[in-house]
């Protein structure tokens, strides 16, 4: 079940990875997203299919340097144009965007990282650097457009165009810098896509195809099958881009699609770690209910957004500092609140909470189904499979069961 959830998650995620750099390059160059996307996929599929994991690792290693250099340059230019870090901080606080304790976390990421001690120790600085750059870039962008919102000023039409516009705004006069930004964006996208294509192809073969093959096949045949899967996944991702571009803001889509599957994924691992009596029937039932429930909520919310019955209200912005703005900004009508109230309450839940909701639904359904069916007996389970604070409990039950069995056995010998 975990493999199925992982497959669904990546099939939804890879098209988003392709679309983001294509959108940035389209804004800078004027080329259509529909031209950029297939070219990007062909390049990525080509070296992933021919080189396999070794090619993916080496290219990711080289691309990481391009990403890091572009991040450093953008941060430096951003600080200079914003008038210093203190100016950025003051404008961020005044704009109500410094809510330090209101940042949702990716529960699945935390759960997996906590189990990888050595690997996490090595990659922790790199991961923190990524978060540092991401947050600082948003701070500098908000400071830059503190009193001149490009969307309200009709300079751009989509929220997704803000970062490319920001880069062109601060770096257009510096030769090579827009190109460095595009190189960094494409390096990040190709790195993610190639890794996901390779892992998804291997997962689909190992968990779905290999169990159906009764006779032994050669490694060469296995390699051809995985390459074929990589090509099919890539083609599917290209087609899905045409759907993604019509669904709204890209950041919202990343969290929405990720939340639909990540909740069930995290719930499965949490169930196995914290509930000794849970069984496979409960886990499967919980995963299905969680996945379908979150998919229903996500589709309903997206439908309400598309019809205009609901809006995610952004933080307030201003156009007072725009020298070329001659229009007026109408105030938000009172009807907006009434429209939101007409939407079903679950559809109004923020997409940031989808992972938490999916985890909760899975655990509740799985525990109930496990208790109604033949629940696992903790005495027969391996203590190493559970969270550290439950291991002593399971070991004590196993010890008591062993002593009880020994007493019964001894009593039987004595009576004879």
* Mean pLDDT for all residues in the chain: 78
> Minimum mean pLDDT among 90-94, 159-163, 172-176, 405-409: which range?
90-94
User: Domain boundary residue among 182, 215, 246?
Assistant: 246
Q: How far apart are the first and last CA of the chain?
A: 51
Q: What is the mean pLDDT of residues 5-28?
A: 83
Return the H-helix or E-strand segment holding 4: helix 2-29
What CATH number is associated with residue 209?
1.20.1730.10
User: Domain boundary residue among 246, 269, 302?
Assistant: 246
Q: Are residues 230 and 267 in the same domain?
A: no
Q: Are residues 121 and 266 in the same domain?
A: no
Q: Give the rounded distance of the alpha carbon of 15 from its chain centre.
A: 12
For the chain, how big is the Rg over CA atoms in Å?
26
Rounded Cα–Cα distance for residues 264 and 240 (Å): 23
Q: Are residues 140 and 175 in the same domain?
A: yes
Q: Are residues 173 and 277 in the same domain?
A: no
**Residue 163: per-residue pLDDT:** 77
Rounded Cα–Cα distance for residues 309 and 342 (Å): 8
Q: Are residues 290 and 335 in the same domain?
A: yes
User: Domain boundary residue among 219, 246, 273?
Assistant: 246
- Render pLDDT for 169-186 as a digit per residue (tens, 0 to 9): 777 778 888 788 888 888
Q: Three-class SS of residue 318?
A: coil
Does pTM top 0.85 for this prediction? no
399 lies in which domain range? 379-416
pLDDT grade for 112, boundaries at 50, 70 and 90: very low
> Minimum mean pLDDT among 42-46, 347-351, 402-406: which range?
402-406
Angle separating helix axes 162-171 and 33-82, nearest 10 degrees: 60
pLDDT grade for 381, boundaries at 50, 70 and 90: confident
Q: Are residues 218 and 269 in the same domain?
A: no
The 8 Å CB, 24+ separation contacts for 362-365 are 362/263, 362/264, 362/267, 362/268, 362/271, 362/286, 362/287, 362/289, 362/290, 363/267, 363/270, 363/271, 363/275, 363/286, 364/286, 365/282, 365/285, 365/286, 365/289, 365/290
With 0-12 / 13-18 / 19 or more C-beta atoms within 10 angstroms meaning exposed / middle / buried, residue 409 is: exposed
**Residue 13: per-residue pLDDT:** 87
**Residue 401: per-residue pLDDT:** 80
Number of structural domains the chain divides into: 3
- Render pLDDT for 49-84 as a digit per residue (tens, 0 to 9): 777 777 777 877 887 888 788 878 877 887 787 777
Q: Are residues 166 and 286 in the same domain?
A: no
Return the H-helix or E-strand segment holding 48: helix 33-82
pLDDT grade for 334, boundaries at 50, 70 and 90: very low
Would you say residue 415 has pLDDT above 50? no
Q: Are residues 232 and 371 in the same domain?
A: no
**Residue 116: per-residue pLDDT:** 46
Would you say residue 4 has pLDDT above 70? yes
Phi first, then psi: give them for residue 328, nearest 5 degrees: -125, 150
pLDDT grade for 113, boundaries at 50, 70 and 90: very low
Cα angle vertex 294, ends 289, 297, to 5°?
125
Within 83-218, residue ranges assigned H as helices are 85-94, 107-113, 117-144, 162-171, 177-204
Q: Are residues 355 and 293 in the same domain?
A: yes
Closest Cα partner for 144 from 318, 5, 6? 318
Q: Are residues 48 and 121 in the same domain?
A: yes
Q: Are residues 93 and 233 in the same domain?
A: yes
- Render pLDDT for 222-253 as a digit per residue (tens, 0 to 9): 889 988 998 999 899 888 888 887 776 777 78
**Residue 369: per-residue pLDDT:** 95
Q: Are residues 9 and 126 in the same domain?
A: yes
Would you say residue 19 has pLDDT above 90? no
Q: What is the mean pLDDT of residues 178-203?
A: 84
pLDDT grade for 296, boundaries at 50, 70 and 90: very high
Rounded Cα–Cα distance for residues 99 and 139 (Å): 12
User: Where is mean pLDDT largest: 96-110, 189-203, 320-334?
Assistant: 189-203
Q: What is the mean pLDDT of residues 207-233?
A: 89
């Amino acid at each position: 079940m975990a493999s199925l959830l992982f497959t669904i998650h990546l099939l939804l995620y890879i098209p988003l990875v392709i679309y983001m750099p294509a959108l940035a390059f389209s804004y800078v160059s004027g080329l259509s997203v529909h031209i950029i996307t297939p070219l990007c996929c062909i390049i990525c599929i080509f070296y992933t299919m021919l080189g396999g994991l070794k090619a993916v690792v080496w290219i990711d290693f080289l691309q990481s340097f391009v990403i890091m250099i572009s991040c450093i340059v953008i941060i430096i230019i951003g600080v200079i144009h914003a008038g210093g870090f203190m100016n950025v901080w003051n404008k961020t606080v005044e704009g109500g965007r410094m809510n330090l304790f209101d940042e949702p976390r990716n529960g699945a990421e935390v759960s997996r990282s906590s189990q990888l001690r050595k690997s996490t120790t090595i990659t922790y600085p790199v991961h923190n650097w990524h978060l540092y750059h991401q947050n600082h870039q948003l701070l500098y962008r908000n400071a830059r457009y503190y009193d001149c919102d490009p969307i309200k000023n009709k300079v751009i039409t989509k929220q997704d165009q803000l970062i490319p516009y920001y880069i062109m705004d601060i770096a257009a006069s510096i030769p090579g810098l827009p190109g460095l930004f595009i190189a960094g964006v494409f390096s990040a996208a190709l790195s993610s896509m190639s890794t996901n294509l390779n892992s998804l192809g291997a997962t689909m073969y190992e968990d779905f195809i290999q169990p159906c093959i009764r006779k032994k096949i050669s490694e060469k045949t296995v390699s051809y099958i995985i390459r074929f899967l990589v090509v099919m996944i890539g083609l599917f991702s290209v087609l899905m881009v045409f759907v993604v571009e019509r669904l709204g803001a890209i950041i919202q889509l990343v969290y929405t699609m990720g939340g639909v599957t990540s909740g069930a994924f995290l719930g499965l691992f949490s169930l196995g770690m914290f509930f000794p009596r849970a069984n496979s029937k409960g886990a499967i039932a919980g995963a299905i209910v969680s996945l379908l429930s979150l998919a229903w909520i996500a589709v309903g919310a997206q439908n309400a957004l598309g019809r205009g019955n609901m809006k995610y209200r952004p933080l307030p912005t201003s156009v007072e500092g725009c020298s070329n703005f001659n229009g007026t900004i109408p105030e938000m009508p009172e009807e907006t609140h009434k429209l939101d109230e007409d939407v079903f309450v679950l559809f109004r839940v923020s997409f940031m909470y989808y992972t938490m909701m999916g985890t909760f639904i899975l655990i509740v359904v799985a525990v109930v189904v496990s208790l109604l069916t033949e629940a696992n007996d903790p005495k027969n389970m391996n203590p190493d499979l559970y969270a550290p604070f439950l291991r002593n409990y399971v070991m004590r039950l196993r010890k008591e069961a062993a002593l009880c069995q020994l007493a019964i056995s001894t009593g039987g010998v004595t009576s004879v």
